[in-house]
Each structure stands twice: as C-alpha cells, then as structure tokens.
C-alpha cells in the first residue's frame, strides 16, 4: 500500500483547499470523498455564498484579510472568476450588543465601511425598508463568492490539485481509522496509509471522530435557502448593484436572515433564514420560486473548530469551518508540522470541555 504524506477526508471547499495547499508544497496527498463528485449532500455545494470582512470577532477579520488575497490568487491560477464585489448591507438594532460590536470591530480594523443614517438610507438602498430603531452599514469590499465554481476549480482544474500530483478518490466511504505513527484509513473500496490525517467532514465529522476517541458537541443543521421572485425584474440584481445583506434580529443576537442579489437565476433573489419557526411578517406574500438545502455542522459556541492531536491520534487535524483557502493554508501548516500563521487558540477543541458530552 502506498504511503501518503497526508490523507484528507472530505472534499468540500475546506478539504479541497487543504489538499491543494499540501500538494503545492510537494506533499504526496490523497483526498477522499464518500460521495461521487460533484454532489449536493454537504455544506459546500450551491452556486453562491457571501464573502465579507464583517465579523464581530477580531480574529475572523484578521484572517479574512489574507483570505481575500488567497481567493484572488486562486482566481489567477484557475483562470476563472470566483468573486464579484457587490458590497454587504448589514441592518440591526442600533443599540443592540451585536450590531454595536460589529461597528466597533469594523472601525478598529479600518475596514472600508459606509454607515448609513435613517434619513439617507433610502437614497443609497432603494426598495428596502429600514425598521425603526435599526442602524445600517455597508461593507464595501464584500461580495458574492461563486462556490460551485471555486470547488470545481480546486478539484478538477488541470493547473491545480491534480496537476501538483494530488490524488482524488470519490465514491469511497471511510469505515475505519487506525491511529498510530502512520494512520491507516479504510474505505469501502480500499486501505490507505498516511503520515498525517486531516478530517474536514462537515456533518459527518463526529461519525469519523469516533475512530479517534473523540466526540464534539456538534449539531447538524438543515438550512433551507429559498429563491424569491422579484416583482420588478432586475430590482435586486447584481446588475443594478444591489448588495448582499444581513438582517440581525434583536433577541437572538445572530445573523438570522441573510441573502444575495439576483445573480445565478435572473429575477430570483436568494434569501436564507436559519430559524425553524412559524411566524408572519407584515407585507410579505407567498412568492417563493425555488429552494435548495444545505447541511451544516455547528457547535454550541458559534465558532469554528480548527485543531489537531486527538487523544488516540497525535497526527490528526480536525476542522469544521467555512473560510476556504485560508483554512486550507492553516490546515496544511498543521499537517506538515509547521507553526500556523495565526493564533489558533479561539478554535481549539479544549474550549468545549465544559460543553462536551464525553471527556476529551
């Protein structure tokens, strides 16, 4: 059996970017995926995502600076447009803790931002109502990331992962992981050995982590993303410079509703609401045109997991995240035994000790 420098389990955007970074660094890399590619059973499929620097946490903003640079580098290497700048509109309770922290973080990091007063809001953002008591800001460098296109570029573009010697095996479900000086990974089609292991399995993370003696308090969440028909075609389109948006709710303190302008399906605006609750909003009528479903794994601490060395396997890296190429770079550094470019203490497994259902 061939010995790989690293085996990556899970070929979503995190795993694919990790495998690509490893292969670029002359690491013999195997990328395993349980489903036949491409597929729509994870959290990386779909045509578009929002890319932004608009976060409350300093460490996210710091990472996103380089993430933008790495996405631009991927565009150049693939020769494909992966990003379109539209701006991001954020609306939330003016005096709410979440919105206030967001504004403070943007100002602290000098992110190009436009703060809109109530009286000038309609001039900049026509056809949107700003609720009384809400503030608004625009992250001017945010935009649309073409998710499916990015995934295809990393996985199958002849100038990228496979051209660097990387190997992809899809349609192979992992059924066992044997820790040791060398990691042995068994799928329903073969057995593979590696000096290190990266797990980027999203909703299937805990199933795989069972083999490493670790269970994390992860919850699989179904997110329905709906496409809504514009009353006046083009009103909310990228062609009319309509931005992506986030509406922060006053009680939950989360980005409960977010959306993207009409783009991949002309005349249809993409909107997602994470909550599973029945309620009515005045002024809305049933006009949904199409929807898709995403499966995401989330932690109770609303922060990504980026860590390595499980109790039984000191050469394993575990990841749940959504930052694409910057995560790929960090994971490749960990897998190669290098010092990561950023302080990873906010992402460590250790912070779950008081929340975990089993001992770490």
Residue 286 is part of a domain; what is its CATH number?
Answer: 3.30.9.10
Apex 148 CA angle, 147 and 150, nearest 5: 65
d(CA 115, CA 93): 14
How many structural domains is the chain composed of? Answer: 2
Give 257-276 as a DSSP string.
EEEE-B-SSTTEEEEEE---
d(CA 281, CA 210): 43
Judgement on whether residues 212 and 162 belong to the same structural domain of the protein: yes
Judgement on whether residues 212 and 318 belong to the same structural domain of the protein: yes
Judgement on whether residues 226 and 132 belong to the same structural domain of the protein: yes
Regarding pTM above 0.75, the answer is yes
d(CA 320, CA 312): 19
Instruction: Provide the β-strand partners of residue 4.
Output: 194
pLDDT at 310: 47
Query: Which domain CATH number covers 342?
Result: 3.50.50.60
**In this structure, is residue 50 part of a structural domain?**
no
Tell the residue number behind the tokens 């002309």, with chain if given.
266
Judgement on whether residues 134 and 17 belong to the same structural domain of the protein: no
**In this structure, is residue 74 part of a structural domain?**
no
**In this structure, is residue 252 part of a structural domain?**
yes
**In this structure, is residue 71 part of a structural domain?**
no
Domain enclosing residue 159, as ranges: 3-45+148-218+301-352
Per-residue confidence in pLDDT tens, the chain, 360 aa: 789 999 999 999 999 999 999 999 999 999 999 999 877 777 777 789 999 999 999 999 999 999 999 999 999 999 999 999 999 999 999 988 889 999 999 999 999 999 998 889 988 898 899 999 999 999 999 999 999 999 998 988 767 899 899 999 999 999 999 988 899 999 999 999 999 999 988 888 888 888 877 777 777 777 777 888 888 888 999 999 999 999 987 765 455 688 999 999 999 999 886 655 555 555 444 554 445 544 444 444 344 566 655 444 455 555 544 578 999 999 999 999 999 998 888 777 665 554 444 332
Judgement on whether residues 130 and 154 belong to the same structural domain of the protein: no
pLDDT at 356: 43
Judgement on whether residues 155 and 209 belong to the same structural domain of the protein: yes
């Amino acid at each position: 059996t061939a010995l790989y420098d690293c085996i990556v389990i899970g070929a979503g955007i995190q795993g694919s970017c990790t495998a690509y970074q490893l292969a670029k660094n002359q690491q013999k890399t195997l990328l395993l995926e349980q489903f036949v590619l491409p597929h729509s059973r994870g959290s990386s499929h779909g045509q578009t995502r929002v890319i932004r620097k608009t976060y409350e946490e300093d460490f996210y903003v710091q990472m996103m600076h380089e993430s933008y640079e790495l996405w631009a580098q991927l565009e150049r290497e693939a020769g494909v447009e992966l990003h379109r700048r539209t701006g991001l509109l954020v609306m939330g309770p003016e005096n709410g803790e979440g919105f206030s922290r967001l504004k403070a973080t943007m100002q602290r990091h000098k992110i190009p931002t436009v703060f809109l007063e109530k009286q000038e809001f309609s001039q900049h953002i026509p056809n949107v109502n700003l609720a009384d008591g809400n503030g608004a800001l625009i992250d001017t460098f945010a935009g649309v990331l073409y998710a499916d296109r990015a995934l295809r570029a990393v996985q199958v573009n002849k100038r990228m992962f496979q051209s660097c010697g990387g190997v992809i095996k899809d349609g192979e479900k992992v059924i066992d992981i044997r820790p040791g000086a060398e990691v042995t990974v068994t799928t329903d089609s073969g057995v593979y050995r590696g000096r290190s292991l990266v797990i980027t399995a999203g909703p299937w993370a805990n199933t795989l982590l069972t083999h490493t003696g670790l269970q994390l308090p992860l919850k699989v969440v179904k997110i329905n993303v709906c496409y809504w028909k514009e009353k006046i075609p083009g009103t909310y389109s990228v062609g009319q410079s309509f931005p992506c948006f986030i509406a922060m709710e006053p009680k939950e303190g989360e980005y409960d509703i977010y959306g993207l302008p009409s783009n991949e399906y002309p005349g249809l605006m993409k909107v997602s609401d994470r909550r599973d609750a029945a309620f009515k909003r005045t002024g809305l009528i049933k006009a949904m045109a199409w929807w898709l479903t995403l499966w995401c794994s989330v932690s109770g601490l609303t922060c990504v997991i980026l860590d390595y060395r499980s109790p039984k396997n000191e050469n394993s890296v575990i990841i749940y995240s959504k930052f694409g190429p910057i995560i790929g770079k960090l994971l490749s550094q960990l897998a190669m035994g290098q010092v990561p470019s950023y302080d990873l203490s906010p992402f460590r497994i250790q912070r779950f000790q008081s929340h975990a259902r089993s001992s770490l």
